[in-house]
Chains A and B, each alone.
Chain A
Amino acid sequence: MSKENGTATKPRTIIEKVWDNHIVSEQPGAPTLLFIDLHLVHEVTSPQAFSGLRERGLQVRRPDLTIGTTDHSIPTHDRNLPILDKIAEAQITQFEKNCRDFGIPFFGPHSDKQGIVHIIGPEQGLTQPGMTVVCGDSHTATHGAFGALAFGIGTSQVEHVLATQCLLQSRSKTFEVRVEGSLKQGVGAKDIILNLISRIGIGGGNGCVFEYAGSAIRSLSMEERMTVCNMSIEGGARAGLIAPDETTYQYIAGRPYAPKGAGWHHALDLWRQLPTDDGATFDKRIDIDASTLEPMITFGTNPGMGIPISAPVPDPSSISDPVERESLGKALRYMDLPSGRPLLGHPINVVFIGSCTNSRISDLRAAANVLRGRKVNPNVRVMVVPGSQQVKSQAQAEGLDRIFKEAGADWREAGCSMCIAMNGDQLAPGEYSVSTSNRNFEGRQGKGGRTFLASPLTAAASAVTGVVTDVRTLL
């Protein structure tokens, strides 16, 4: 694939290779028409797209490359109970009808394959290296962990892909994020990505696709790589990816929708051509020394407002730019936090362990290791929400659910839950959470709620103590 007609091409990044492999046409005066290999669809950002298809009398071009599930507005209580929110119920019912009417495979509320779109794609083997993957959800970059070019789209584009399996796109800049060295104990994938975003800011990757590289990235498991890629959008990049390697192939092999037999060997041949060529150049680059990283936590109202857990909350008066100063001041007023002191010891009301960032089995194992034999602080409500029914089953087979329940945590059904707080799982005004999700915007976890983003380890440790806690004091 890296050679056309037997002639060597100039060294390319994996980002350029995947792009080049999907060009359907390039017309003067128009963006590139790009083919999409996998389209994930959910109930919240698709209804108006299906309405558009009906108004124009169009069909879904490739239902065989499309998959639907319910995750955003679905309650996480017992699936046999009715959905109390009638607006959410109507949306879920409409989505089920849309999938049925247009022939789209549907992992519905009662399917054992239901879950957050970005959890089930990889888990089912649908997400594969070198693919283009889209979804009406900004965390689609999660699938980049497999060396796929995966990005979030709006509802108009959901309609375009449903109707044509294509999108008009302009090339992005390339941004290499090189993380070298070994992580210390208690520091993980979530801390890498929160650290990156705190350095470049939430607009730092605008117009770019990240490639995460370096020894620290290579050492991560697939699930950890998904955590890193997931939050690319929080650094402004629509996509972020990691070149596939043996770790990737081992993860995919044998999954339900993975290639089999001769198809597997053919796929491996194609996938091994994807990594960035020696001598390829990037538009931007940042280097991170993994050995210097500490557990990270956010203190403000965007994911770029993050600090090492023992560092003080920054002081607005130390910032010269007036807009930035006001921005930080506004965030600290919303969070009702003093500056100049670490968050360590700050009381919390809720711990949320879940979301497409941190709800896979390894995340739940990490949290369970901290909670095993311990009790949740009586002042704290703890929700553990597996990312999918498969994750839930696996956790229960390993007895993790019992550890959570014995500790006093609430063990739920799969969904986005308190990450986006559309389904009834939410903070009350003024409450503080330590959350393993990806966004701490004002009101994101419920109107007036205040979010500290952190890793599953930090979340579990804080659940035990009832205050923001450095997990290394409990390990």
Chain B
Amino acid sequence: MEKFTAFTSRLAPLAIDNIDTDQIIPARFLKTTSKAGLGDQLFYDWRYDAEGNPKADFLINREEGRVANVLLAGDNFGCGSSREHAPWALTQYGFRAVISTSFADIFRGNSLKNSLLPIVVAPETHKALLAAVEKDPAATVTVDLATQTLTLPDGSKIAFPIDEFAKQCMLEGVDELGYILAQNDAITAFEAKRPLTVNTLAQA
């Protein structure tokens, strides 16, 4: 993973509540055994018509969708299926952060493991951002993970919450697995005292 650095970007507004991961990446694209090509399938059924031609009016087929690194989404973004293909598709397309009033739990966790920053803002901030981008589609925000601040188009700064451990992993560009592997002794010790409530598959 690359280190997550501060950046300034326009906003891609998709103000629909409860956007589920089936919309972000439809299930028929989950037959792949790699991560390649998912960016082209992002929001596929909203993005292309029945003949596979881009719908000119859909956000990511328009200029602001193509240039923005920040998706401004409605409440409870990423609900539904646990598919990690959703953050893979979003990051491959070029998104580095999603701003919403809330995120579904599994999606949020998956995003943090793929350098996609889920930024939770208050409803009034969300409304203000939508209004700002409606007034001026070229309005920008600055995302700074190290200081956990989002600089709004009017220059004001707001703080956003993030799990401290995930933050450090993203800033350093490392994943969690190395940390877990380093706890091998603790895992071995736990296994030794673990009550055997299960006839394990190996024993059966």
Contacts of A207 in B (CB 8 A): 105
A418 to B21, CA, bound (A): 17
Interface-lining segment among A152-160, A280-288, A349-357: A152-160
Is residue B195 within 8 Å, beta carbon to beta carbon, of the partner chain?
A: yes
Contacts of B168 in A (CB 8 A): 29
Is residue B59 within 8 Å, beta carbon to beta carbon, of the partner chain?
A: no
Contacts of A302 in B (CB 8 A): 18, 20, 79
Do residues A443 and B165 form an inter-chain contact, with CB atoms below 8 A?
Answer: no
CB closest residue in chain B, given A86: B31
Do residues B197 and A130 form an inter-chain contact, with CB atoms below 8 A?
Answer: yes
Do residues B113 and A90 form an inter-chain contact, with CB atoms below 8 A?
Answer: no
CB closest residue in chain B, given A205: B105
Is residue B106 within 8 Å, beta carbon to beta carbon, of the partner chain?
A: yes
DSSP class of B's interface residues: helix, strand, loop or mixed?
loop
Is residue B194 within 8 Å, beta carbon to beta carbon, of the partner chain?
A: yes
Assuming the contacts A44-B30, A170-B163, asked whether A30 and B74 have C-beta atoms less than 8 A apart, the reply is no
Do residues A202 and B79 form an inter-chain contact, with CB atoms below 8 A?
Answer: yes
B151-183 near A? 1/0 per residue, CB < 8 Å: 000000000000111001000000111011101
Is residue B66 within 8 Å, beta carbon to beta carbon, of the partner chain?
A: no
Do residues A64 and B201 form an inter-chain contact, with CB atoms below 8 A?
Answer: yes
Is residue A24 within 8 Å, beta carbon to beta carbon, of the partner chain?
A: yes
Interface-lining segment among A45-53, A220-228, A375-383, A407-415: A45-53
A45 to B27, CA, bound (A): 11
A44 to B195, CA, bound (A): 32
Interface size on A, residues (CB 8 A): 91
Contact of A88 among B31, B35, B198 (CB under 8 A): B31
CB closest residue in chain A, given B177: A160
Do residues B186 and A154 form an inter-chain contact, with CB atoms below 8 A?
Answer: no
Interface-lining segment among B3-11, B81-89, B137-145: B81-89
Is residue B45 within 8 Å, beta carbon to beta carbon, of the partner chain?
A: yes
Do residues B197 and A131 form an inter-chain contact, with CB atoms below 8 A?
Answer: yes
A326 to B15, CA, bound (A): 10
Is residue B64 within 8 Å, beta carbon to beta carbon, of the partner chain?
A: no
Is residue B67 within 8 Å, beta carbon to beta carbon, of the partner chain?
A: no
CB closest residue in chain A, given B20: A441
Contacts of A66 in B (CB 8 A): 201
Do residues B203 and A85 form an inter-chain contact, with CB atoms below 8 A?
Answer: no
Do residues B45 and A442 form an inter-chain contact, with CB atoms below 8 A?
Answer: yes
Known contacts A45-B83, A64-B200; 6 additional CB pairs below 8 A are A31-B163, A44-B83, A45-B84, A156-B113, A165-B187, A257-B204
20 A-B contact pairs sorted by A residue (CB < 8 Å): A25-B190, A35-B190, A44-B83, A45-B84, A47-B32, A63-B202, A64-B200, A64-B202, A129-B197, A136-B82, A153-B109, A156-B177, A168-B165, A202-B76, A257-B198, A263-B196, A326-B16, A327-B17, A441-B20, A443-B23
